[in-house]
């Protein structure tokens, strides 16, 4: 695309299609100009002093706390997440900044032992953490504030300049957050928003001046970008999954049902670790399904800005069509619809439970990213685990059991980077390591881990001939 034909981006409410705001796209030239500015900051090797970064982040916490309602409303309006959950997202985002402050205050190198051989005598060695260079962050729509915080704040905390491209569907939370960051005292050149078309974004990401890419989005795009990165550019990729949950004979059904309902239908299932496949022992299936159906049918689907809404819209009408097509296809292949299984509007899909769909159907072996959960009855736990593992994803999973031996055995055998015991697969706190492998991604997220990923460890070795005299 030539610079003379720059387009703009229109942001709409995903529930009712109402126009919210229009933002200009940057040209490729403008994007690369911003990259050069960030690169010049990085090569100066003189980031803002740590005490100054701490001061800025502390100011940011206060500003975000004073704007909690506005931040939640923006996230709900542009992203479709129910207001009650958007408020929780804001609380998490504030907590994430606090975590970064705590980690920064203790981020240090370590002494490397010397004098262990004659050749290392009279030497002193230690490591230090330095910012890695320019960070590029490409984000997703489903947590329009907290994902941005998780990608931007670690860079700011360690002193790395960052260029951030929010999702085209949800850029407003990002821009408002960055405005607060500037008001907190961060010079604008240290955190720059980028709105551009795909070719310009790819040009940015693959530029050799980029030291680190943090990408949250589809596996297809993420792995494609990784294959094009300049030599030396490191990355963290966070994609999706098809999270399995196993309920054994001993599990507490009454305790598991509300957790699984939340884990399956939170944000209409548009979460990378959303509960997608539940394997329940056949002896428990009737009582489980009765309670799970009752809980699911009681969910309030509607306008995300209504405080009573529990399940909002999908991000785009085409996603509703895709989910509907996948469900219809699974029914043709033998799945039984226990509830839902239909569009409620052009923007919303009913919370849906499918019983025993084909394990090769898209609703089972691909990431549905919608309000659909598959339930499978089993009698052989080993076979259930084998089926649970038979997908190209490896992210988070869950086991429900009151038998500690079985819980640990199942957790050990499940193909996942994280396994929850007696909780749903979508559980997360912002300081824990978070990430997948195989098709689900690479690298580790979570504020402390991202901060370390965005650092380079430098070792200093000093020869002191008279050290021990």
Nearest Cα residue to 311 out of 325, 292, 328, 298: 298
Cβ burial of 454 (10 Å; 0-12, 13-18, 19+) is buried
What count of residues does the chain have? Answer: 469
Grouping H, G, I as helix, E, B as strand and the rest as coil, residue 441 is: strand
CA atoms within 13 A on the CB side of 154: 29
Grouping H, G, I as helix, E, B as strand and the rest as coil, residue 162 is: strand
SS3 of the chain: helix, strand, coil, percent, to 5:
45, 20, 35
Q: Which residues contact residue 313 at a Cβ distance below 8 angstroms, ignoring those fewer than 6 apart?
A: 14, 15, 80, 268, 304, 320, 345, 347, 348
Grouping H, G, I as helix, E, B as strand and the rest as coil, residue 244 is: strand
Element housing 31 (H / E): helix 28-43
Grouping H, G, I as helix, E, B as strand and the rest as coil, residue 81 is: coil
Phi-psi region of 426 (alpha: psi -120 to 50; beta: other; left: phi over 0): alpha
CA dihedral 138, 144, 147, 151 (to 10 degrees): 50
Contact predicate 370/351, CB 8 Å: no
Active site residues: 238, 272
Burial 202-219 (b: 16+ CB within 10 A, else e): bebbbbebbbbbbbbbeb
Grouping H, G, I as helix, E, B as strand and the rest as coil, residue 459 is: strand
Q: How far apart are CA 24 and CA 3, in angstroms?
A: 12
Over 318-362, what HEC string results?
A: HHHHHHHHHHHHHHHCCCEEEECCCECCCCCECCEEEECCCCCCH
Q: How far apart are CA 305 and CA 69, in angstroms?
A: 12
């Amino acid at each position: 695309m030539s610079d003379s034909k720059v387009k703009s981006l229109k942001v709409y409410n995903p529930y009712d299609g109402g126009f919210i705001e229009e933002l200009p796209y940057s040209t490729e030239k403008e994007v690369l100009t911003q990259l050069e500015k960030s690169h010049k900051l990085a090569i100066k090797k003189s980031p803002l002093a740590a005490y100054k970064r701490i001061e800025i982040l502390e100011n940011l916490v206060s500003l975000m706390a004073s704007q909690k309602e506005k931040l939640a409303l923006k996230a709900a309006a542009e992203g479709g997440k129910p207001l009650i959950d958007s408020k929780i997202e804001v609380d998490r985002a504030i907590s994430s900044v606090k975590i970064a402050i705590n980690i920064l205050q203790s981020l240090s190198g370590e002494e490397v032992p010397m004098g262990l051989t004659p050749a290392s005598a009279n030497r002193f060695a230690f490591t230090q953490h330095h910012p890695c260079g320019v960070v590029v962050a490409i984000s997703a729509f489903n947590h329009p504030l907290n994902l941005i915080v998780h990608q931007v704040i670690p860079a700011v905390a360690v002193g790395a300049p960052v260029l951030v491209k929010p999702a085209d569907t949800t850029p407003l939370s990002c821009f408002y957050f960055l405005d607060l960051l500037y008001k907190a005292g961060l010079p604008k050149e240290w955190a720059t928003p980028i709105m551009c078309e795909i070719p310009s974004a790819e040009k940015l990401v693959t530029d050799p001046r980029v030291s680190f890419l943090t990408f949250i989005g589809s596996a297809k795009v993420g792995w494609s970008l990784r294959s094009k990165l300049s030599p030396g550019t490191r990355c963290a990729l966070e994609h999706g999954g098809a999270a399995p949950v196993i309920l054994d004979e001993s599990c507490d059904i009454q305790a598991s049902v509300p957790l699984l309902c939340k884990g399956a239908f939170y944000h209409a299932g548009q979460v990378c670790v959303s509960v997608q496949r539940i394997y329940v022992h056949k002896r428990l299936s009737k009582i489980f399904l009765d309670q799970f159906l009752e809980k699911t049918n009681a969910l309030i689907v509607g306008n995300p800005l209504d405080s009573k809404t529990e399940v909002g819209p999908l991000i785009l009408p085409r996603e509703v069509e895709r989910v509907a097509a996948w469900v219809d296809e699974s029914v043709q292949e033998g799945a039984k619809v226990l509830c839902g299984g239909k569009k409620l509007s052009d923007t919303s899909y009913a919370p849906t439970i499918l019983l025993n769909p084909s394990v090769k159907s898209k609703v089972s072996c691909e990431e549905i990213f919608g309000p659909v959960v598959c339930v499978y009855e089993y009698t052989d736990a080993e076979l259930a685990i084998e089926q649970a593992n038979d997908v190209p994803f490896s992210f988070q999973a869950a086991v429900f059991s009151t038998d500690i031996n079985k819980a640990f055995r199942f957790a050990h055998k499940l193909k996942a980077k994280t396994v929850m015991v007696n909780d749903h697969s979508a559980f997360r706190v912002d300081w824990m390591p978070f990430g997948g492998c195989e098709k689900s991604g690479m690298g580790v997220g979570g504020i402390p881990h991202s901060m370390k990923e965005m650092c380079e460890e430098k070792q200093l070795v000093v020869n002191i001939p008279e050290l021990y005299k």
